[in-house]
Structure 1
Amino acid sequence: MGRAAAAALAALLAATACTSQGGSADVAKTVVPTVDAEDNNPQPLDNIKDGGELREPLQQWITQWNPYQVDGTYGDAVEIMGYLEAKLFRSDAQGVYHPVPEYLVSAQVTSTSPQVVTYKLNPKAVWSDGTAIGYRDFEAVWKASNGKDQAFNLADSSGYEQISGVEQGADPSEVKVTFSEPYADWQSLFSPLLPASGISTPQAFNEGWIEKVPVYGGPFVLQNADKTAQTITLAPNPRWWGPKPKLDRITYRVLDAAAITQSFLNNEIDFASAGTATSYGQLKDAKDSVIRTGTPWDEVHISFGGNGALADQKVRQALGRALDRASLIKIANKGVPVEFKPLDNHLFMTNQSGYKANAGDWVAYDPTTAKKWLDEAGWKDAGGTRSKDGQPLELHYVMSDGSTQAQSDLATATQNMLQQVGVKLTIDKVPSKEYFSKYIDQGKFDLASWRNTGSFPLSKTVPIFRAPQGDNVFGNYSKLSTPEIDGLLRKAAATLDPAKAAELYNQADVKIWELGHTVELYQRPSIVAVRKGLANFGAGSLADTVITSVGWQK
């Protein structure tokens, strides 16, 4: 999900895709990402039973349900809220948005100067308290999310700060949103739409969704949340006007990563990640189950910090040439049935329209060139660790003490590669609960590896590379940027023509590679074990789940 980019827990538990135990003898198939790669057992509704339960794992308890609030960005919570509230658009497997007919008759740009988007609402759309969905809900989301009132503790103001006004159109079922400057990804806004009654004041916005969902606008409602048992149950919304959900209930149970595999084997849940060699080995032959694979927006990388020796772009560029990406990817891929392809773009996934391989020679493995560039940067080789002005070239690779074996192997391999060019790399394991809050978020690292997930549509990637403003680094924890990159990203996000926007994003990506900001490794596939017979659900790509169509085959 877009708001779950770099979700801390998911990134921490699976920053690389596997442990290194186990060979490739069990590899069942190789999947190369394609534009529409997904594997969810698509079935027409006539083939699906009425009723039944879907049991899913959660990795942490959900406290804040408001996805616009800074504490409400946990990925599973955002996904569930898409089932409970008004999700206006749905992405297909190519990443193209389509209006959801239960909410929108149409939605289109009706003026470009200024940009005006006109939404024609389904007159049947209603909140669970009986109030019709209308322009006041759009207005409330905008006012809470545009960043003008600091009392609203926001997760992200992108897009909303570009809106200058929200008003009723020709009648109560029409909404007009006017932008002060163009915003290409307008379809990603108001997702999900929340009721004005629940977010109009800072107190309601920040506190009204803690441990509860006050009003519903989706096909399901939160029937029960048992904090003691750590279970959450969804049931069909009795006021829902759209197609009746096939499932009677969806049950979520909080489980730590190690317990999820065993719970699936014990037939306690119907869905489990099989993305590590260990979990795949245990789950591939599990009774009444199938392995499904897909290609979501999910990448693994090594980021460089921007302090000390790494403040010098030439040093960062040298490290990019010292790393053997192919070998690092093999470490992550060992024992897992889906081939991890190198990712040569910071902004597009390989299955997104507009993807171009922009890495060029910046990360082509070449220790000789790496040594030459370090020499040019003043770090001289004295037969061991390089030094400059009497200071040794010593860097720190920060990783969580909860890392998998593969993450440790990745760090060790990186350490050995850099040693070959005279760079001493110390691996610092830090407490897992502090990995993001005290280290990554604060930019206290020289090298570190984590995942960014769900940074789609493309404007969601902008905070990762935009220039910091004062203490606000957005998502750019390296704090590395240039006015040229910042300008290209802003211009791309304001370009309504998708082809022209993609061209600008790719121009920015070329400059990001040159900057030595991040070494992209691979697009991380989704590999899951699913109970046999579960239809329209599994390993997705860029497509959203149509939860009313999920159920059990007849």
Structure 2
Amino acid sequence: MKKLLSLLLVGVMSVMLLAGCGTTGGGQDNPDSGSDETEKSISIAQSANFSMGFAPGVQSYETTYYMNNFYESLVEYRDGEYQPCLATDWTVSEDGLTYTFYLREDVQFNDGTAFNAEAVKLYFDNMKSVIGTSANYGQLDMLTTEITVDDEYTVSFHLSRPYYNVLNDLAMVMPRGILSAAAFNDDGSLNTEYLMTHTPGTGPYMFESVNETATEYTFVKNPNYWGEEPDVDRFTVKVIPESKVAAMRSGEVDFIIGSDTLDANSYQELSQTEGITGIISDFNFVTEFIALNDEIAPLDDQNVRTAIQMAIDKESIAQNIYAGLRTAANSVMPADMPYCDATVTTPDYDMTGAIALLEDSGWVDSDGDGIREKDGKVLSFTITYPSTGVYDNVVLFFQSAMEELGIEIKTNPIDLMAFMQQVFMEDNYEITAYMSYWFPYDPYTFVANMYPSTDYSDPSGIYSTDPQVAKALATMSDEEAKALIAGLYNTDDPAVVQEIFTEALNSANESSVIIPLNYRNEYAVFNSDVIESYTFNSIPNHVDVAAIHLK
């Protein structure tokens, strides 16, 4: 179960081989250690500390956002394709069962130990029990029967059956950025105590120190880094839960990224302030949604679910709650993600049509109290959501829209971990407000989690880790939905994968169990007296310090 929480809590080849991976462009060369030039440092604000340390698979969003600065994977996803990172090249056997990777020969971990095929095998062998066999991080670990060291810098992954998403799974720095042997105990388990204050990877930066109150963390360049040297020599992450705008205005911090860290209104305010630059990513990488539990009457009625979706003005949410910084959603997954060009979209906003659907289904307000009823049952539900502040305005908007439709909505904001327990572990909810898993876990994990069973003891080894998404294919029988999603576990043919994705997304869009509200881009603000520019990572909410170019 902890493995589930860990998720919810991821150019030209020859040119890429000359630069580090997991970062978006390098900076100017720094002077030698003997130079008298002033060290170039910046400060970054975030909301919470690294309370779980720097281990892969930790239950902490904050750590996830920074992993790519410390750890690197065999391949990376950039500019719409998989490109070399710690592997310079790879081949796939004709039967799709063996992936062979040819490793860089000029890499060391920041603790001075060698990066080679033995290090890769050790990491993946040890992490298999940490990652587990769920679909949270893809199916690679479940399908890998053996990892072999072919020579010092060649390693092969042997699979039990073909799998279409091997490269994407390997591109997930969280949790497949490779750590040195120091990250593990003798029995192969993670050395979590060591990883509280160490980041033993190959990336451009490494942990240096933390203050006594765990409110300032300092990271420095990796002296063994094999790639192009970044501009920033050292960066300090300052934990500032509530006063980030003031901290940015005063110059206490130089950089803030992410709508989880800075709300839309604060972004707008800061981006219009002299000396501060605001930028927005151009990639829709996560879906915010309302989820309906169709196992509870009357949400088992397609007309009721469709009416609820039709009564939500998604464009108004995008414009008025998120100041136009998000895109109104018409599919459970954005079309600019791989395989996600659905041919059926969700119903448009139409309050009149929504009211007609309910009335045609017998739901009327016979006593004039504003709440519809049928056969003595009132149309009333409770919406459960994390009390992080992220969903408050959306829930209030939803509550108001449902009031206009004649549905009573009671609110139940709870602590994030309590939300995980109640919704993900106990499947105990009527309606939720939440979000998808973000790229690169979306769309693959999201669609895989449409498998309509959360029984992890199923002998097939296939199950969903998200009870909300497991109900998405409500236009199909359980048998049809299981057969469809199980098809992803038996193919590496992109055409077959596309057919499965299209059918699954079409069904989800029609069923109105998962009601997509908006697609999230990402934004950042920075001190333009210090920073020249910033290029978003391929996962836009991840902090890419090597992509910060200084003046």
- TM bin, normalised by shorter chain, reads 0.7 to 0.9
How big is the shift at 1:519?
A: 0.9
Q: Residue type of the partner of 2:113?
A: T
One-letter amino acid of the structure 2 residue matched with residue 179 of structure 1: L
Q: TM-score, normalised by structure 2?
A: 0.79
1:121 corresponds in structure 2 to 103
Q: In structure 2, how many angstroms separate the alpha carbons of the residues matched to 1:246 and 1:413? A: 44
2:501 counterpart residue number: 505
Distance 1:46 1:197 in 2: 31
Structure 2 SS opposite 1:268: coil
Matched, 1:86 2:80: no
Q: Which residue number corresponds to residue 143 of structure 2?
A: 162
Whole-angstrom CA distance in 1 between matches of 2:30 and 2:282: 25
1:517 aligned partner: 513
**1:303 has 2:291 as partner:** yes
Please list every run of 5 or more consecutive structure 1 residues that lacks an aligned counterpart in the other structure: 11-41
Aligned to 1:19: none
Which runs of 5 or more structure 2 residues have no equivalent in the other structure? 11-23, 32-36, 171-175, 457-462, 473-477
Q: State which of 180, 189, 214 in structure 2 corresponds to 1:204.
A: 189
> Is residue 383–residue 432 contact of structure 2 (8 Å, CA) maintained in 1?
yes
SS state of the match for residue 204, structure 1? coil
Alignment check: 8 A CA contact 1:114 1:180 kept: no
Letter paired with 1:302: I
Residues 412-421 or 225-234, more deviating: 412-421
Q: CA contact under 8 A between 1:57 and 1:254: conserved in structure 2?
A: yes
Aligned to 1:551: 549
Which amino acid letter does the alignment assign opposite residue 134 of structure 1?
N
Counterpart Cα distance in 2 of 1:497 and 1:438: 38
Task: Using the TM superposition, give the Cα deviation of residue 223 of structure 1 relative to its aligned residue in structure 2, in angstroms.
Answer: 1.0
How far apart, in 1, do the equivalents of 2:440 and 2:525 lie? Answer: 25
Aligned partners of 1:342 and 1:291: how far apart in 2?
21
Greater relative CO, 1 or 2 (CA 8 Å, sep 6+): 1
Superposition deviation, residue 318 in structure 1: 3.2
Q: Is 1:263 paired with 2:247? A: yes
Where 1:290 maps in the other structure, the secondary structure is: strand
Q: Deviations over 1:65-89 (max 9, x none)?
A: 45543xx143331243322223332
Instruction: Name which of 368, 379, 395 aligns with 2:381.
Output: 395
Corresponding position of 1:325: 314
Give the Cα–Cα distance (whole angstroms) in 1 for the partners of residues 205 and 269 of structure 2: 33
- Counterparts of 1:151-230 in structure 2, within 5 Å, are 156=137, 158-169=139-150, 171-190=151-170, 191-199=176-184, 204-205=189-190, 207-213=192-198, 215-230=200-215
SS at match of 1:205: coil
Letter in 1 for 2:231: K
Q: One-letter code of the match for 2:145?
A: S
Q: 1:177 to 1:342 in 2, by over 3 A?
A: same
Q: Given that residues 5 and 420 in structure 2 are in contact (C-alpha distance below 8 angstroms), is that contact kept between their aligned partners in structure 1?
A: no
Residues 392-448 of structure 1 show CA distances to partners (whole Å, capped at 9, x for unaligned) of: 2211122455536xx544333323333344322223344566444445664433222
Alignment of 1:235-274 (within 5 A): 235-256=220-241, 258-273=242-257
User: Matched residue pairs, number?
Assistant: 503
The answer for the alignment partner of 1:38 in structure 2 is none
Structure 2 residue identity aligned to 1:329: A
Relative distance call for 1:277 and 1:111 in structure 2 (3 A) is closer
**C-alpha RMSD of the superposition:** 3.7
- C-alpha change, 1:517 and 1:344, in structure 2 (3 Å) is same
Verify the 8 A CA contact 2:138 2:169 in the aligned structure 1. no
Gap change, CA 1:306 and 1:312, over 3 Å in 2: closer
Q: Call closer, same or farther: CA 1:462–1:196 in 2, change over 3 Å.
A: farther
Conservation of the 8 A alpha-carbon contact between 1:344 and 1:359: no
Whether the 8 Å CA contact 1:198–1:208 is kept in 2: the answer is no
| Structure 2 Cα separation of the partners of residues 197 and 431 of structure 1 | 35
**Partners of 2:511 and 2:449 in 1: CA distance:** 14
In the superposition, the TM-score normalised over structure 1's length comes to: 0.78
Partner of 1:496 in structure 2? Answer: 492
Q: Percent identity?
A: 16
SS at match of 1:82: helix
Q: Does 1:106 align with 2:93?
A: no
Alignment of 1:366-445 (within 5 A): 366-367=350-351, 369-371=353-355, 373-374=357-358, 379=363, 382-384=366-368, 385-403=371-389, 407-431=391-415, 434-439=418-423, 442-445=426-429
Distance 2:407 2:386 in 1: 22
CA contact (8 A) 1:195 1:215 kept: yes
